[in-house]
Amino acid sequence: MIKEIVYRLNKELPATVKLVAVSKFHPFEAIQEAYEAGQRIFAESRPQELLAKVKRLEELRAERGEDYMSGIQWHFIGHLQTNKLKMVLPYVSLVQSVDSERLLNAIQTWGAANGKVIPVLLEPHVAAEETKQGFAPEEVYEILQKSSEYDYIRFCGLMGMATFTDDESVVRADFAALRSIYDNCRERFDSLAADFNEFSIGMSDDYPLAISYGSTMVRIGSMIFGERG
């Protein structure tokens, strides 16, 4: 079932849109099945779970050869605490959910100490729920204004979430607000434009709508893997 859905999604999605399979709360065997169907980007939201899956893959490579699942990429999409960076940053190709300047500064410090540039997406907050993390739009612009201070961070774009609601007009308004912030970033900071080209919005319930607003990454979990295990 996982394979069929991955095949269908990859056939359906525009060439400009990357499929990010949200594998959080699902076993490594589910990741293997999706990988066999051609899926390469997997997203986790808890540092301990990401690290456990990385270690499981290391065990399998010891058994089957270093090339086993060599094309896999890990993204982190959850709220990342600064004391958990060492469980995440060595392994991910993108941190999608940078939601505070404190976290950004901690990533910069870790990158400098470890000689690694970390690709990130900044996460503006536009949704109605107060529980969602993220920057105000002006805070995003302020950070990008001083991007040269972050020499161990590569700013690759924005990640956002719409309000959790069945009201499509609310979701549309949130996506439009996120798109406006993204467009403003690219216009105001054209020196970053070569890297700043990812716009990660859309999940299982709203990804077709997200694509209509220019999403370059859709984060799909339950549609691929079923409800959380």
Q: Which long-range contacts (CB under 8 A, 24 or more apart) does 26-35 make?
A: 26/221, 26/225, 26/226, 26/228, 26/229, 27/229, 28/53, 28/56, 28/57, 30/2, 30/225, 30/229, 31/72, 32/69, 33/2, 33/3, 34/2, 34/3, 34/6, 34/224, 34/225, 35/69, 35/71, 35/72
Kindly report, residue by residue over 191-227, the tens digit of the pLDDT.
Answer: 887 899 999 999 999 999 999 999 999 999 999 998 7
Q: What are the backbone dihedrals phi and psi of residue 164, each rounded to the nearest 5 degrees, phi first?
A: -80, 100
DSSP 8-state code for residue 201: -
- pLDDT of res. 141: 97
How far is residue 225's CA from residue 47's CA, in Å, rounded to a whole number?
A: 20
- Give the C-alpha separation, 82 to 20, whole Å: 24
Q: Is 96 helix (H, G, I), strand (E, B) or coil?
A: strand
Q: Is the pLDDT of residue 229 over 60?
A: no
Q: Which pLDDT band, with edges at 50, 70 and 90, does 90 fall under?
A: very high
Check if the beta carbon of residue 224 is closer than 8 Å to that of residue 6. yes
Sign of CA dihedral 176, 181, 184, 185: negative
Domains of the chain, residue spans: 2-225
What single-letter DSSP state applies at residue 21? E
Taking the C-alpha atoms of residue 97 and residue 50, their distance in angstroms, rounded to an integer, is 15
pLDDT band at 183 (very low <50, low <70, confident <90, very high): very high
pLDDT of residue 12: 95
Residue 185 contacts residue 196 (beta carbons within 8 Å): yes
Q: At the topology level of CATH, where does 2-225 sit?
A: TIM Barrel (3.20.20)
- Distance, in Å, from the CA atom of 222 to the CA atom of 57, rounded to the nearest integer, reads 22
